[in-house]
Amino acid sequence: MKNVKLFILVSIIFLSLSSVSAQNFNDALRLSDPEIITSARALGMGNAYLSLSNDFSASLFNPAGLALIKKMEFSSGLNYNSFKNDVEFFSRNTNYSKTSTNFNQIGFAFPLPTTRGSMVLAFGYNKFKDFNRALKFSGFNNSNNSLIQDLTVSNDDIAYELGLSYPVYDGNNKYLYDETKINGKLNQSGNIFQEGGLNSWQFSGAIEFQENLFVGININIINGNFNRNREYWEEDLNNNYPAQLLLDSSDPNTADFQSFYFNDIIKWDVSGWNATLGLLAKVDENLNFGATIKLPKSLEVKEIYTIDANAKFGTGKTYFLDPPIESRVEYTIKTPTELGVGASYSINGLTVALDANFIDYSQMEFSAGFDTRTRENKNKDISDLFRNVINLNAGVEYILPLTGMTLRGGFMYLPSPFKDDNSDFDKKFVTAGIGFKAGPRLIVDVGYAHGWWEDVGDNYGSNLSRTFQSITKDNLIFGIKYFF
C-alpha cells in the first residue's frame, strides 16, 4: 500500500493536523465562561455576593467588600464536584459521571490600623474554574457518513496510512486525491474525559474612601491546566464491508474491514493575569449596593496536541499511525470584560441579595499566536456565533435566633452565550447552605448547588454524528473562617 504514494513531509503533516485540532471558539469559551466555584457561604446564597463580600471571598466577587472586615481572618474551602451526562446518540442512551475533590480556597485578610474608616489587605489562593467533564456514547449510524470519510476529505494522510483510503490518479499518473470505499453504516462509540482547572493567586486591597463608601482592587496571577482525552471507534458490526471487499485494491491486507480507532489528546498549560475593580456603598444599616468591573483575562496557552489511531481488518492485519502525530502551538486568548451590579437588604436577621453580571462573549478573542489571517478568521467566527448575556444571581440568608446557625438558599441563571441557542441550553442552579459558629472565633459553612442544562456535540461535520446531552452538575463546598 505505502509504495503507491510518496511519504508526506513532516511539515505537511503538521499543516494538515491543523484541520483536525483547529483551535477555535470553543477554546476561547472554555476559558471565558464563568464557573460557580466560590465560597461555601456565597454558593449557598446563589453567589449573589457583590453587595455583601465581607470576607476573603470578596477577592472573587467585589474587592471593595474587604474593607468591611474588622478582624484578621483566615479562610479555607474544600470543593466536591460531580458532573453527570445522560447522552442520547442515534436513539440509544448512555449515562456517565465523573467527580473531583480539591481545595478551592485558602486566604488571609488583614485589617490595618487607621485613624478613621478602614483599610484591609488580603492575599491567597482560589481555584475558580474546574474542567471536570465526562461523556460516553454508542449507537449505530445508519447514514452514509463516518469519521473515516471525513478524514479522507479533510485530512487524507491519516486514513491513507491506516489502509482506509487509496490514491486516485489522472490519465498522466498524476496524483489527484484520496477516496475511500467506506460509505457509513457503522456503529459509532466513544468517550471524552476532561480534567484540570484554573487557579488564581490573588492580592487585594480595599479602603473606606469616604464614610460608608468603599473601593477595592484585586490583582489575579493565573495558572492552570486542561487535559482532554477523546477515544472514538467505528465498527462494522453488520458486515457491510465483507471479506471480498478490499479498501485498497493494491493491498490484500485491507479486506474485511473490522474497526477504526481514533484517539486525540489535548494538553494545555495556562498562565496569565487580570484585575477586578470594585465599589460598595452602605446606603444605611439595611441596604447595600455593589458594582464591579472584571477586566479581561489575558491567558497564554501552551498546547500539545497528539493523535493516535489504528484500523483492524479480518485478514489479521492492524495498521497503526507510527509514530503518533504530535503538534505544539502557543497562543493567547483574551476573555471579555464582565460588569456586575448587586444590592442586598438586611432586617431582623434576614438578608436578601440580587446580582446581575453582563458579559459580551462576542468580545472574546485570540489576541496573539497564529498568523494574522488565521487569527482574524477565528475572531470573526467568535463575533458571528456569540452574543451578550446577563447572568442573574439571587440569594437569601436567615440567622436563626439564639442558635448561632444560619440558613441559606439561592438561584443562578446563566444564559447560553450562543446566538441561536434556546432556553434549554441555559444553565440553571438551585443552591442551599448552612453555617454555624463552632466557637467564639470559628465559623463553619457548607454550601451546595445543583445545576442542569442541555448541550450537543458533533463527532465530525455538523449534525451528522451528534450527541444530545442532558447534563447535571453538583457542587458541595465545605468552608471554615477563623478570626484572630
In this structure, is residue 309 part of a structural domain? no
In this structure, is residue 142 part of a structural domain? no
Q: How far is CA 90 from CA 187, 237, 459, in A?
A: 10, 15, 13
Cα distance between residue 53 and residue 25, in whole Å: 33
The structural domain count of the chain equals 1
pLDDT for residue 18: 35
Cα distance between residue 468 and residue 383, in whole Å: 25
pLDDT band, residue 199 (cuts 50/70/90): very high
pLDDT for residue 7: 33
Can you read off the three cell numbers belonging to residue 89?
A: 446518540
Could you tell me the CATH number of the domain that includes residue 72?
Answer: 2.40.160.60
Residue 244 falls in which region: left (phi positive, over 0), alpha (psi -120 to 50) or beta: alpha
In this structure, is residue 418 part of a structural domain? yes
Over pLDDT 70: what percentage of the chain? 95
pLDDT for residue 8: 33
pLDDT for residue 115: 85
pLDDT for residue 387: 97
**Per residue in 92-121, pLDDT tens?**
999 999 999 999 999 999 999 998 889 999
Would the pLDDT of 175 be above 80?
yes
Q: Please state the φ and ψ torsions of residue 49, each to the nearest 5 degrees.
A: -130, 5
Sign (positive or negative) of CA dihedral 414, 415, 417, 421:
positive
In this structure, is residue 322 part of a structural domain? no
In this structure, is residue 190 part of a structural domain? no
Q: Please state the φ and ψ torsions of residue 213, each to the nearest 5 degrees.
A: -130, 120
Look at residues 387, 389, 449, 388 and name the one whose alpha carbon lies nearest to residue 414: 389
**Per residue in 374-411, pLDDT tens?**
999 999 999 999 999 999 999 999 999 989 899 999 99
In this structure, is residue 262 part of a structural domain? no
**Per residue in 253-265, pLDDT tens?**
999 999 999 999 9
**Per residue in 289-304, pLDDT tens?**
999 999 999 999 999 9
In this structure, is residue 240 part of a structural domain? no
71: three-class secondary structure by DSSP: coil
Query: What letters, b where the CB count within 10 A reaches 16 and e where it falls short, cover 275-295?
Result: bbbbbbbbeeeeebbbbbebe
- E strands in 314-437: 318-320, 325-334, 338-347, 350-360, 365-368, 388-400, 405-414, 427-437
Residues 153-173 have a mean pLDDT of 89
Q: For residue 325, which amino acid is it?
A: I
pLDDT for residue 22: 58
Q: Which domain holds residue 31?
A: 2-132+196-232+268-297+336-483
Q: What is the mean pLDDT of the chain?
A: 93
In this structure, is residue 431 part of a structural domain? yes
Can you read off the three cell numbers belonging to residue 294?
A: 472584571
Would the pLDDT of 191 be above 70?
yes
457 DSSP β-pair partners? 467
